[in-house]
Structures are given as structure tokens and as C-alpha cells.
Chains A and B, each alone.
Chain A
Amino acid sequence: MIGLSHYLVLGTMLFSIGLFGVLSKRNAIAVLMCVELMLNAVNINFVAIEKFITPGTGLGQLFAIFVIVVAAAEVAVGLALVISIYRQKKSVNLNDFNLLKW
């Protein structure tokens, strides 16, 4: 029987993979994709918790859709930034983006 904990473990694994990618990838596109992974891990948690703890309210699904919308917007802005930086630096390697450094 698949219960709440399975969904939570799946969400945690997805989140950890995404976090690892965000922290370790050097390619800006890959980092953006990993952020998406983390967001989707949260979405799984929302839906699973709604299903098992507060069934019938629809709040979890509602928030999941919210997150998807925000994620779409975020990707749009994020990709726009990456393109803009790529035009400046001719690179999508995060190591080259060190304007803030002392």
C-alpha cells in the first residue's frame, strides 16, 4: 500500500537532486532546470498532503498550480537573464559570472 511517506520520500529525493544540481552545476541552464526539479518536489508534497491529510479541500492542488505558474514565470525571467548575460560574456558558465566579486 502506497502511503503518504512514500510520496514524501519521493519529494525529498527530487528536492535533494535539485538542490545538488543547483549547488554543483556550472551551466546556468542546468541550474535553472534543477530549480524546476526542487519546485516540482514541493508540488508533489502539496498534492500528497492534500490527498492524505486534508482531502476534499483542493488547497494543495490550488497551490501546486500556483507554483507551476510561478515556475513558468521564473523560467521566463531566468532564461531572459541567462540570454542577456550570454550576450555580454559569450558564456553560460557560472564561473564567468563574477561581477559581484571584490
Chain B
Amino acid sequence: MILQNVLENAWIIPFLPFLAFALIGLIFHRWPKFSTAVSILSIAASFVFSVMVAMTVFSTAEGTVYEAGTRWLSMPGLQVDMGLLIDPLTAVMLLVVTTIALLVQIYSIGYMHGDPGIASYYAYQSLFAGSMLGLVVSNNFGQIFVFWELVGICSYFLIGFWFGRNSAKEAAKKAFITNRVGDFGFLLGILFLQIIFGTLNFNGLAVEIANYTNTGVLSMISILLFFGPIGKSAQFPLHVWLPDAMEGPTPVSALIHAATMVAAGVYLIARAIFIFNTSAEALMVIAVVGGFTALFAATIAIVQNDIKRILAFSTLSQLGYMVMAMGVGVMTAGMFHLMTHAFFKSLLFLGAGSVIHAMHDEQDIWKMGNLSKKMPITTWTFVIGALALSGIPPLSGFWSKDEILLGAFASGHMGLYVLGSFVAFLTAFYMFRLIFVAFFGSNTAGEHAHESPSVMTWPLIILAVISVFAGFVGSPLMNNAFGHYITYVGAQHHEASVSIMIVSAIIALAGIVLAYLVYQRKLVDYEAVKERFSGVYNLLYNKYYIDEFYALLIKYFVDGTAKVMEWFDLHVINGIVNGIAIFTGRAGTALKYTENGQVQTYALYMFAGIVVLLISALCAVFTAIA
């Protein structure tokens, strides 16, 4: 009975952070400390509720599902509902989001210490937490779209949090505008669903789509819906905003641009997998886009020097992994990777934040070095995060990455399997390049650093512990508990293959060893390699010139179109309008000579008019008679 009550009151989970946002924004913003407390208390309460919800959901063998809804607005032909859908997928997302949001907000106490905008920072954080939680408990596409846009606007606010810096302003605008492109397609997809099926409710749509046979339409809708994740989860070709989004405060990057908001796209695919599964073409597109993004971003990450940008490209790459998993038909593995990635990537970002904080806003890894001496907690938690990301057993990343590779292998996508394994190698390499250069190297620039306060290190330690153990819930050791709950029409789990596990572990180790040899032992002169392959290096360093390409595209295509339109407006539209005015004026000038001011003349005209009317009336009468 109590358990039922928990689910009925699950709306409180997103509601509390929204309330905190309103309270801080309207009342408490004058008192930064109080605002901080309100925000953290609300997210902590949401966390407790989420744990209770998760316990309820996972208390039954198949996972409890609860749905409640109410009509939002109704007019002939259109009913918009709002509602709550709690199932195992939602429960996992609630746990991930509230855990990381809570830890990030606690960490921010230390990181944002002394910033004049702390109250608004926590207001945005609360708004984001509420929106993200609202997104994951939505039971229909309309509501998900509303929260989808809300998290987008929070992202905009927080990227541009230090709006005094021009680069932050530009990055915020870029993120927002790039997402508009994706959301346009997403909204079109939602409208098609509404028009064709008459409902946006997930369960309602699942029933309708099962009875719908026009695969062409379903493919089109799937691909349109996939535009949303392409924008929000920063898949190629709309990935350009995510690296620039690192202009925001580092805890924001950890929460929004690594763990939760960018994962919303993946969550959406998982939630709507019943639509995507109806179209093999759409799944193929998803798999290829995801796989390509994974490889593309990983190659860029190898040569970046900014610690946050390396992590940003790593995030892109891992999101590509998740999307690829959805595409090759292992939704479970994708969600599993989303969960483990959320933990270890937020750990890495918070670790990077700790370093940046200690180094007084220095982000270039070559200007750090030997940080492990002075910052042991940050260093070792960072290493744990990197090991998890690289997929070293038995850390969490190993199990989830392995599931994806296994899925690609077992479903016959050999090309994507090889690509995924290669990306795993690159991942291990670039992460340990970062670690050996920044945390161990012979450079002593980092030795004046100091360990961060405990309010920052404790979240790191907690996340490190989770990063180590979170993988077990989906591992064969625990009978694939994760895959048991997070499924869609039948198991999507492939039998664990020891050989694939061994191969992926060896690949990851190889990447680490190579990074060790090159950057720690310096057996290879990387500067010489850089010189030798300067063409490739520059291509990678400049992110394949995609940004420049878009800039050119905008300059020539958009501005060119604008110029043509301007000419058209000035000469054709203005010409027509002015022409009409001039014609009217001339006509008036010409006709004014008929006016002589003599009333008698006017009366004559009147008389003539009556005569004409009379004659025509008589003619009409006579022709009617004849």
C-alpha cells in the first residue's frame, strides 16, 4: 500500500526542484547561502524520493509500471495530455539524474565559492534538475518536448553563465541555435505522430503503431524524431555546439553536458524504441550516425590540449556509442552505457574542475604536470574514472561498453563492431595521454597546486566508488539484472561472450600502454610525430574544419540568400508598392482637371449618369421582352 503511494506521488520528484527555482528566483536570491541550501535540500529530497521509487519499481520480478495522466487541453481533433509514466527505464534515469545533480550541486559549493552569481547559478541548477526529471517521467511526446526545450534553455543559461566573456556568450548562442535545427525535425516528427495516430502517449502509440503497416511513413517519422537526439545528444553533423559548451562552469559541464541533458537524446530513442524498431532503415541511419560520431570525436580528442575539450570530445564519442547501440538493436546496452557513462564522465569532469580550480583557471594540459603529488584524491579518482571510461575490467565502463560491442557483434554488424573496438582503443589512449601529461609528467608546473576542499573531493570519492561498482548491475556476475528490467518486447540481451570481453580488455590495455610509452616514458618523440604528420594533426586539431565549414556555409549560403532577398525587397517589392503610389498620384493629377468647381457641371454629370442607367435598363427590358 505504501509502495503504491510512492508511485502516485512521484510527481514530487520534478516538482521540488521547480519549487526551489521559483523560491530562489522570487525570494531568496538576495541570500546566496540560503539559495544554495534551498537548492541542495530540494534535490536531496528528490533523490530520496527517487530511491524510494526505484525500490518500488524493482520490488517486483518484472518491474512495476505506473501511469497516470490528466487532460491538459482539449479541442475538437486535438487532445493534449500530461502525465506520469514510471517504469524501470524511468526509475534508472531518476536515480542517475538525482544522484549526479545532488553531487554536482554539493561540489559547486566549493567550485563556485566567491562567485557573485551563486544565487542565480543555483536557480538555474534547480530549474535544470526539475526539467530533466520532468522529461524522464513524461508519458507522452508533447510533454517530453516541453521539458526537452526547458533543459535546452537551462543549458543556454548555464553555458552563458559567465556572460561577461564573449566566448561564453557565443557558445551559449551556438548551443541554442544548433539545437533548434535538431528540434525542428523532432517537432515535425511529433506532429506527424499526432496527425497520423491521434495520440502522443507512448503506450497508446505502441498499440497504434503495432497495427500500422505503412513502413515508409514510419521510416520518415523515425528519422524526423531522430533529429532531436542528433541535436540534443550532439551527434554528427550537429555536434559542433558541445565542445564550445565547455565555456560554462565545469560542474555544469559535468551535469548537463556529460551526464544528463546530452543523454536525453539517447533516453528519447530508448523511450521511443518501439517506433524506431519498425523501420530497419531508420535503425541503420541511427547506427551509422552513432558509430561515425564515436570514431570522429575520438580521433579529434587525441590531439586536443584543453582538458575540458578532451573530455567533451570523449563525451561526444561515448554518446555516439550509445546511439550506435540503439541502432544495432541493443537498447538495453545503450541505456546501461548511458548510466555508467553518466557516473564516470561526471566524475572526470568534476575531477577536471578540481584541477582547473587548483590551477587558477588553467585548462591546458601541457601547463599542468605532476599534479598527483599535491592533489592525490583528485588524481586517483580521476584515474578511476579514466579506467572506467577506457573499459578496464571490472570497472563499470567495461561491462557496458562490452555489452554494446557484443550487441554489434552478435547482431551481425561486423563493421560497427570493429569500429567500436578501435574507438575503445582511441579512448584509452587519449584519456591516458591526458593523465600522464597532466597528472604525472615531468613538468613541474602543477606542483604549486593544492588539493581542493573536502566539499569538492567527497563528491569525487562517491562518484569514483559508484563508477567502480555500477557496472555490476548489468554484468553476468549479477545475472544481467539491468537487462532483465530495461527491455523492450523480449530480451535484447545477447549471451555474454568471454572472448569478446578479453579482446576489448586487451584493446583498452593496449591504448593505455601506448599512452604510457609515448607520454610517460617518452619512447616516441611525439613532437616529431606531430611535425611529420602535420597535415593530419592540423586536420584533427581543427576538428576537421567542420566549424569553419559551417561558417563558410552560413557566409555564402545564408548571407547570399539574404542578399538576394534584400535585392528582391528593395527593387521588386518596393518597386511594386511605390509604383502603386505613383500611379495613384499621377491618376489624381490627371483627373483633377475634370473638376471645375461648378456644381452645375456635376449636376450635368449626374443627369448624364441617370440617362445612361435609364437607357441600359430599357435595353435590358426590351431584350427581355424580345
Contact = CB atoms under 8 A, between A and B. Distances in A.
Contact of B597 (A22, A24, A31, A99): A99
Given A102-B592, A102-B593, A23 B604 contact: yes
Interface in B589-622: 592-593, 595-600, 603-604, 607
Contacts of A95: 598
Interface in A59-90: none
B598 A94 contact: yes
Contacts of B598: 94-95, 97-98
A53 interface: no
Interface in B85-133: none
A29 interface: no
B600 A98 contact: no
A1 interface: no
Interface string B568-602: 00000000000000000000000011011111100
Contacts of B600: 22-24, 31, 94
A47 B383 CA distance: 118
A22 B593 CA distance: 22
B63 to A, nearest CB: 90
A5 to B, nearest CB: 18
Contact of A98 (B592, B597, B603, B607): B597
A97 B604 contact: no
A102 B595 contact: yes
B607 A23 contact: yes
Contacts, number: 29
A41 to B, nearest CB: 14
A84 to B, nearest CB: 15
A23 B599 CA distance: 9
B595 A101 contact: yes
A98 B604 contact: no
A95 B609 CA distance: 23
Interface size class of B (residues with CB under 8 A): 10 to 19
Contacts of B607: 19, 23
Contacts of A101: 595-597
A12 to B, nearest CB: 13
Contacts of A22: 600, 603
A100 B604 CA distance: 17
A94 B601 CA distance: 11
Interface string A13-27: 000000100111000
Contacts of A102: 592-593, 595, 597
A31 B599 CA distance: 11
A95 B592 CA distance: 18
Nearest to B591: A102
Nearest to A24: B600
Contacts of A99: 597
A99 B599 CA distance: 11
B589 to A, nearest CB: 9
A95 B599 CA distance: 10
Contacts of B599: 94, 97
A22 B600 CA distance: 7
B603 A97 contact: no
A92 to B, nearest CB: 14
Interface in B312-329: none
Contacts of A23: 600, 603-604, 607
Contact of B596 (A24, A31, A98): A98
A43 B611 CA distance: 22
B248 to A, nearest CB: 71
B109 to A, nearest CB: 83
B597 A100 contact: yes
A98 B601 CA distance: 12
B608 to A, nearest CB: 10
Contacts of B597: 97-102
A101 B600 CA distance: 13
Contacts of A24: 600
Contacts of B592: 102
B605 to A, nearest CB: 10
Nearest to A95: B598
The interface centre, meaning the residue of B592, B593, B600, B607 with most chain A CB atoms within 10 A of its CB, is: B600
A100 B595 contact: yes
A19 B593 CA distance: 25
B591 to A, nearest CB: 10
Nearest to B589: A102
A94 B598 CA distance: 7
Nearest to A100: B597
B599 to A, nearest CB: 7
A95 B598 CA distance: 7
A84 B525 CA distance: 112
Interface string B521-555: 00000000000000000000000000000000000
A3 to B, nearest CB: 23
Given A23-B607, A98-B596, A102-B595, 18 more contacts: A22-B600, A22-B603, A23-B600, A23-B603, A94-B600, A95-B598, A97-B597, A97-B598, A97-B599, A98-B597, A98-B598, A100-B595, A100-B597, A101-B595, A101-B596, A102-B592, A102-B593, A102-B597
Interface of A: 19, 22-24, 31, 94-95, 97-102
* The 8 residue pairs across chains A and B that have the minimum distance between CB atoms: A101-B597, A98-B597, A100-B597, A102-B592, A23-B604, A23-B600, A101-B596, A102-B595
Interface of B: 592-593, 595-600, 603-604, 607
7 contacts: A23-B603, A94-B600, A97-B598, A98-B596, A98-B597, A99-B597, A100-B595
